[in-house]
Structure 1
Amino acid sequence: MKWFEVFKQQWQDYHAGLQAVKIGDKSLLDLAAPLLLQNTTLVNPAQLRRSIGHMGGMHRLRRVLRDLQSGKQIKLGVLGGSISWGSAVERGTDDWFALLTAHLAAAFPAANVTGRNGCVPATPSSFMNMCLEQYLDEDVDLVFLEYAVNDGWDTHNVMKRKIYERLLRKVLSKPKHPAVILVQLPTVGMAYSSRHKDKTPFYKTVEDTYGSFAAYYDTPYLSMRNAIWRLAEHHHYQMNFTHFYGMSYDFVHPLEQGHRLIADMVLFAMQQALLDLQLHPWSVWDEEEAAAALPKPMYYGNWEEVNRLCTHGKAFEAVVTQSKGWQMVNEGDEFKPKFGYVTTQVGAELVITLNTTRRSAPELQRMNVQLAYLRSYTGLGMALVKCSGGCECQDTLVDGHHELRQSTIFLLRLYPTQAPACRISVTVQSESRSGGHKFKVTGVMANEFRSRGEHQHDEHEELNKEEWLGGVNKGEGELKERWGKAAAGALAAGSTSSSSSSGSGSSKSGSGPKASTD
């Protein structure tokens, strides 16, 4: 049988079950009515149950639902990449976060429900970890994190997990102790046909790894992969991925039907929490748990940093002190700007001047600085990054070229010594694997890592050993061989915390849908 012949009846049976159970003179259907799903036509109750990877104690989420019922003001926030930003749909109207915000505002008219979309396309969780204050309100009540796509599929990348944990801790530590829901979406290649040579299997994603943080910090975790896999991959009820992605240009960014599904996943989870609140009313224990201090980091010593600086786009101009041969240009449009300093001249030098003097734990001697630059598959060259002006850091040769057919912002992680006017220079080199010499720098971020007296690993070395996208960049060995020691860490160092807004799949040049994500 086909899905449209079955799902309607399954939902009717589900609602009838809620109608049959009463608390006082009201049925569970009446009590849950504000959150009954409005958009679901493509999944059944069983699939939405499968989307729930973890719910836990739900103390913070129960508090948000209690406040909604009481008519209090509720602020929502979402952090993630281009999918949640609203790529491929009408942003602010048809993206899942806009649908969710509008639905909650209509369902709880006495409450003042507002939402802020803080997603930044083509950025991983490491970017948001450095720039959180610019994209999330301090008094937010409920936050959604969507980074399983942008953080790639390398489940062995320990530093990415550590950075994700730091971001999660920063969000959970906001003044109102917000509820956090991890919304995990299928990574690049999962929605390809099973016959496609770059098909990504069910297990090749960081979402299961990140699920351990949901368990450790007791935050709900939802999975679109789990919700649709049996229907789309195994063709239950004669369905496939086009039912959920539409005729997407890359089968990474879903069209409207996919966004409606994501919104319904969240609404279904909130409905389960609301039903739980009816069966187990708010108590003093909920109050204590919702306000409890965070446990120590899951990864030993992985305390969240103190953010000091985040400049990108036009704001980046404020810290650039020399730009001869470079131009600040917008390679996007007014709706999706892509500002950055760009040059095609060999020898052109861009100089950024920062105060790298630490305000906390000065004995740690170094500041964590990340330089944001563009990588793409055509025309990009190499640049040498150095520190001077009283500060020191490892000279690093950065390659703007990669083989994946996507344009992505990467982060070069530097650990300069402390200085009031540290000069970071970016100089375009004559060497080029692509044949071109274009180089683009889009911003710089800085924060102060902490150890709180615990043993601190040499993270600079650890980060520079990290492989990018599971080691699929084939040019690394050739780069080391041709240009020596300075290049040895170029690809790995340059990608310590990076990925694409459409994920980190294995689509090689000339195969599979393009995923242009800059």
Structure 2
Amino acid sequence: MASEFITALRGKQEEQQRRGGSPRASLLSPATIYLLIGALLVGAVITMSPALVHRREDFQAITKLLPCVGEPAAAAAEQQAAAQPAPLIAQPPPLRTLSFPPEWQPLLTREERLRGISYWGSGGRLQRVAQKLLTGQPVKVFTLGGSVTSGGGSSSSTKLGYVPRFFEFLQHNFPHKEHVLENKAIAASTAFMYAACLQHHVPEDADLVTLEFSVNEKPDAPYPSPERRAFEQLLRRLLRLPGRPAVLVLHHWGWWNALGDGIDRGLFYSQPEGQLTAFSNYYDLPTLSLRSAAYHLMDAGLPKFQIGRVGLPQQHLFFEKGKVRVGPIPLATPETKNEYFYADATHPGNSGHQVLAELMAGALMRAVWEVQVEGGAVSDADRRQPPVSQDLPRPMVPFSRDELPGVCAMQEEFKPIVKKAKGFEYLPERPDADGFMRQKWGWRGTKPGDWAELEVDTRASDGSPPANTYIWLSHLASYQGMGTALVECVSGCKCERSILDGTWGREASLFTVMRFHVTRSPACRIRVTVLSQPGRKKQKGHKVTLAAIMVTHVPLGEGATEGSLGLVQNIGLSHDRGWKDR
């Protein structure tokens, strides 16, 4: 740029001399000339051009070609330039590059991690988490989900599950003794268990909350169903927390559970992932997909991604020559099981958990990069002013209303809810499982005539709007040994009698929820009595296991009535796909 400018000035000077002009004649005014020089120098700094910034001889050549300035002015300009050091261009601080812990051998490439980001949106809340980490501040992270989140399928749920691996990645890159990193997984749970009891799991000042529910949510539920409404309620309650936490949605995906349209496994577009991602689109939530990242790796049978065998015995529905048969999934040997992605039809093995952790790490890597390079993906200048809404948008599902939480008693807090009992005992379903939550504790009755009386406060808080009040009673549903029970209000409140049915035909043991309308009372007593009559799937046995009770208040308004939601709803039902003990 400097040489071109010099050449142009010399050409103008020679042309003027040929025409008889004086070399001292002014080509431009002095002010204009110095403005041009200044503009060139500023442009050089901005474009980081060394040709203008660092070559003093160019500056000297330019000033000598300015006869309009005169010898004294040119000399003064040259002396001033010689006295000043060459301008220095400020270098940005080096970018913080995140890395995996040394003992990790990453299974996904960067391209595959990016493929696994099925939706990113603005990423604003996650960037705020990244900003805190980059400035050395501690963060509070909470993971919600079912048994995959609790580490199911890994050889060590406390070390090799995807959650402890992700926490290890975070501490490796941003060590801080005051980080709060807590896994709040509940085996066999759905989003409703958290939507109704969020205050028991996530504090108001949380920074990041991750959700993993895809393999437990009912796959074919329509958007207006209680299952999808509960998922949306969870999102809305999280996004309204005072700390404005980032919400990161993780979709696990089971190859052997993805069947339909004529194939018995590996159906890419199996639900509910697509439906749940629509909520991410609506609420601007970064979302990760195992299916998007690894489907083609599984289909190609790459090492660590092989899906032809599992590590644990598991039955499956096979489609063969127009017929359906039930048979075992081929088993891997102890020596080869780590080459396969899944431990059973649903749960990932050690390799699968590492891939999930790498997807989580990839999301944080992207947020950190955006903060460092761009200062965040969206600046104030990029936003619509004034904003469309300062608060959450209205619910995505038509006629939904934000429910007001009341009593929530689950896990250890559920035990004292039972005030009187005959035949019911507080026992674990899986006493040998690792940890209280995976042991599935509850009040259990096994013989017709066994009963338990539960007492809860069904009143709403002072000043709350008029609302319908509901009780949600969580109980175990399984494929063997289960029975039915009569549920009725016996004192303090009124409700219609209803039947609890713990039977179904699929190989799975999940907590489900029955819902019924109740009047308000400070001491609403409900009796659950085991019946002799069989459920919808006749089984040998009469076991009834109660796990939790919740009270919610649905404000009266359009669609938020018994007619639109039903008096009794079952939450968390999943398809007949041989799911095993989430």
> Is TM > 0.5 for Structure 1 vs Structure 2?
yes
* 1:213 pairs with 2:279: yes
Structure 2 residue corresponding to 1:310, chosen from 408, 411, 427: 408
Note if contact 1:149-1:188 (Cα within 8 Å) is conserved in structure 2.
Answer: no
Q: Aligned partners of 1:396, 1:245: CA distance in 2, in Å?
A: 49
Note if contact 2:483-2:544 (Cα within 8 Å) is conserved in structure 1.
Answer: yes
In structure 1, the residue matched to 2:195 is: 129
Note if contact 1:155-1:209 (Cα within 8 Å) is conserved in structure 2.
Answer: no
Q: TM-score, normalised by structure 1?
A: 0.79
Q: Aligned partners of 2:169, 2:91: CA distance in 1, in Å?
A: 26
CA shift in 2, pair 1:220/1:244, >3 Å: farther
Greater RCO (Cα-Cα under 8 Å, separation 6 or more): 1
Q: CA deviation at 1:216?
A: 1.5
Deviations along 1:33-58, whole A, 9 cap, x unmatched?
Answer: 12568645433333222211111111
Look up the SS of the partner of 1:350 in the other structure.
Answer: strand
CA shift in 2, pair 1:92/1:435, >3 Å: closer
Q: Aligned partners of 1:188, 1:362: CA distance in 2, in Å?
A: 46
Q: Aligned partners of 1:285, 1:238: CA distance in 2, in Å?
A: 46
Q: CA deviation at 1:302?
A: 2.8
Structure 2 residue corresponding to 1:161, chosen from 210, 224, 228: 228
Q: CA deviation at 1:188?
A: 6.8
Which amino acid is the alignment partner of residue 539 of structure 2? S
In structure 1, the residue matched to 2:476 is: 374
In structure 2, the residue matched to 1:447 is: 552
Q: Aligned partners of 1:367, 1:449: CA distance in 2, in Å?
A: 6
In structure 2, the residue matched to 1:483 is: none
CA shift in 2, pair 1:239/1:391, >3 Å: closer
In structure 2, the residue matched to 1:281 is: 375
Which amino acid is the alignment partner of residue 171 of structure 1? L
Structure 2 residue corresponding to 1:414, chosen from 516, 537, 540: 516
Structure 1 residue corresponding to 2:97, chosen from 33, 47, 54: 33
Note if contact 1:244-1:254 (Cα within 8 Å) is conserved in structure 2.
Answer: no
Which amino acid is the alignment partner of residue 444 of structure 1? I
Note if contact 1:391-1:416 (Cα within 8 Å) is conserved in structure 2.
Answer: yes
CA shift in 2, pair 1:385/1:216, >3 Å: same
CA shift in 2, pair 1:425/1:157, >3 Å: farther
In structure 2, the residue matched to 1:384 is: 486
Structure 2 residue corresponding to 1:43, chosen from 108, 117, 138: 108
Which amino acid is the alignment partner of residue 153 of structure 2? A
* 1:354 pairs with 2:452: no
Deviations along 1:186-212, whole A, 9 cap, x unmatched?
Answer: 0473478x9996425221211211112
* 1:97 pairs with 2:202: no
Structure 1 residue corresponding to 2:499, chosen from 397, 411, 414: 397
Q: CA deviation at 1:409?
A: 1.1
Q: Aligned partners of 1:217, 1:43: CA distance in 2, in Å?
A: 28
> Where does structure 1 lack aligned partners over 5 or more consecutive residues?
1-22, 465-492, 509-513
* 1:60 pairs with 2:125: yes
Q: Aligned partners of 1:26, 1:265: CA distance in 2, in Å?
A: 29
Q: Aligned partners of 2:190, 2:105: CA distance in 1, in Å?
A: 30
CA shift in 2, pair 1:46/1:386, >3 Å: same
CA shift in 2, pair 1:179/1:276, >3 Å: same
Q: Aligned partners of 1:362, 1:292: CA distance in 2, in Å?
A: 22
* 1:86 pairs with 2:86: no
Q: Aligned partners of 2:125, 2:290: CA distance in 1, in Å?
A: 22
Note if contact 1:36-1:271 (Cα within 8 Å) is conserved in structure 2.
Answer: no
Of 321-330 and 70-79, the range deviating more from structure 2: 321-330
Q: Aligned partners of 1:292, 1:147: CA distance in 2, in Å?
A: 28
CA shift in 2, pair 1:37/1:217, >3 Å: farther
Note if contact 2:486-2:497 (Cα within 8 Å) is conserved in structure 1.
Answer: yes
Note if contact 2:257-2:577 (Cα within 8 Å) is conserved in structure 1.
Answer: no
* 1:74 pairs with 2:178: no
Note if contact 1:342-1:440 (Cα within 8 Å) is conserved in structure 2.
Answer: yes
CA shift in 2, pair 1:418/1:460, >3 Å: farther
Which amino acid is the alignment partner of residue 191 of structure 2? S
Q: Aligned partners of 2:529, 2:188: CA distance in 1, in Å?
A: 24
* 1:322 pairs with 2:403: no
In structure 2, the residue matched to 1:488 is: none
Note if contact 2:406-2:458 (Cα within 8 Å) is conserved in structure 1.
Answer: no
> Where does structure 2 lack aligned partners over 5 or more consecutive residues?
1-88, 309-336
In structure 1, the residue matched to 2:331 is: none
Look up the SS of the partner of 2:98 in the other structure.
Answer: helix
Of 210-219 and 30-39, the range deviating more from structure 2: 30-39
Deviations along 1:4-38, whole A, 9 cap, x unmatched?
Answer: xxxxxxxxxxxxxxxxxxx97579xx625125686
CA shift in 2, pair 1:342/1:196, >3 Å: farther
Note if contact 1:376-1:402 (Cα within 8 Å) is conserved in structure 2.
Answer: yes
Q: CA deviation at 1:375?
A: 1.1
Identity within the alignment, % = 27
In structure 2, the residue matched to 1:498 is: 572
Q: Aligned partners of 1:298, 1:285: CA distance in 2, in Å?
A: 28
CA shift in 2, pair 1:134/1:178, >3 Å: same
Which amino acid is the alignment partner of residue 528 of structure 2? V
Note if contact 2:473-2:514 (Cα within 8 Å) is conserved in structure 1.
Answer: yes
Q: CA deviation at 1:362?
A: 6.5
Aligned-residue CA RMSD in angstroms? 3.1
CA shift in 2, pair 1:412/1:135, >3 Å: same
Deviations along 1:331-373, whole A, 9 cap, x unmatched?
Answer: 3336233221111221222111222122267774531211111
CA shift in 2, pair 1:388/1:460, >3 Å: farther
Q: How does 1:189-228 map to 2 (within 5 A)?
A: 189-190=256-257, 198-199=264-265, 201-228=267-294
Q: CA deviation at 1:272?
A: 2.0
Which amino acid is the alignment partner of residue 457 of structure 2? N
Which amino acid is the alignment partner of residue 506 of structure 1? D
Count of residue correspondences: 451
Look up the SS of the partner of 1:170 in the other structure.
Answer: helix
* 1:462 pairs with 2:582: no
Q: Aligned partners of 2:306, 2:551: CA distance in 1, in Å?
A: 44
Larger Rg: 2
Note if contact 1:52-1:222 (Cα within 8 Å) is conserved in structure 2.
Answer: yes
Note if contact 1:365-1:417 (Cα within 8 Å) is conserved in structure 2.
Answer: no
Q: How does 1:175-190 map to 2 (within 5 A)?
A: 175-187=242-254, 189-190=256-257
Q: TM-score, normalised by structure 2?
A: 0.71
Which amino acid is the alignment partner of residue 457 of structure 1? A
Q: CA deviation at 1:406?
A: 1.4
Note if contact 1:361-1:450 (Cα within 8 Å) is conserved in structure 2.
Answer: no
